[in-house]
Structure formats: structure tokens, C-alpha cells
Amino acid sequence: MSLVRFIDFLRDRLGLVIKVCIGLLALLIVADIARVLLSQGHEAAAAVGPDLASAPSEVEAVHGFWAHLYHIAETWPVFWSVFGFIACVLIVYVSKWYGHLKVGRTQIMAPEDFYHE
């Protein structure tokens, strides 16, 4: 089947595929830097989300951690790349930590016959 052949074709050139992917990531970063640089000067156009300055009555947290983070997200290039990567690492480590928590004599990740069914 041609689909399988195509996948095998890519797998045979795994090193090249990885290089292309890394190239795409780099391109994405460059594009985002360009986006933020171009949009500076007219802030509101940068990304989705509220214009914090214009609607203070709707906004609970104009100050504080979340507002600060939001400001960074709006103004720093590659914020969401860093966010995505940290999110991924955080999710994996927190979940694994949780999975190894003790519950009685076992842990959250229990043996398969735990319920004796």
C-alpha cells in the first residue's frame, strides 16, 4: 500500500525528517519575532484577548501575577513557544509525581489486578 510505503520512506530518512522539523520550529520562532516587532506601536493588534486598559470594569485582575503574565504574553515574542514547552514538561512531571503518590498499600498507578476482577 502506497501510504505504508510513504511512511517507510520517511522513516528511512528519520535524520532528515528531524532536521526539517527543527528547521520548521526555527522558522516559527523567526516568524513570531517578526510578528511582534511589526505589531509594536499598535498594541491591540498583537493577539487575541482583551484590551486591558480600555475595559477596567470588566477586568478583575488588572494588576497582579496573571495581568503581568498576560502583559508578557502580549508583548514578548516566542512567549507561547516557551509556554508550550514548559506546559508539556510540567504536565508530564506533575502527572508522574501524582501517579506515584501512595494510596494505602499501593500507589495511584496500581497493579492491573488491583480490583481482583
Residue 78 CB, shortest distance to other proteins, in Å, is 7
* Residue 30, C-beta contacts closer than 8 angstroms, at least 6 positions apart: none
CA distance 104 to 27: 50
**What phi and psi, each to the nearest 5 degrees, are found at residue 59?**
-100, 120
Of 23, 42, 28, 22, residue with least CA distance to 79: 28
In angstroms, the CA 12 to CA 104 distance is: 48
Tell me: does residue 96 bind other proteins (CB under 8 A).
yes
Those residues with Cβ within 8 angstroms of residue 46's Cβ, 6 or more apart along the chain or in another chain: 35, 36, 39, 74, 75
Which of 16, 37, 72, 94 is in the footprint of other proteins by CB under 8 A?
94
The footprint of other proteins on residues 26-45 (CB under 8 A) is: 28, 31-32, 35, 39, 45
Pick from 20, 61, 72, 76 the residue near other proteins by CB under 8 A.
Answer: 61
Chain positions contacting other proteins, by CB under 8 A? 1, 3-4, 7, 24-25, 28, 31-32, 35, 39, 45-50, 55, 58-61, 66-67, 69-70, 78, 80-85, 87-92, 94-96, 98-99, 103, 106, 108-112, 114-115, 117
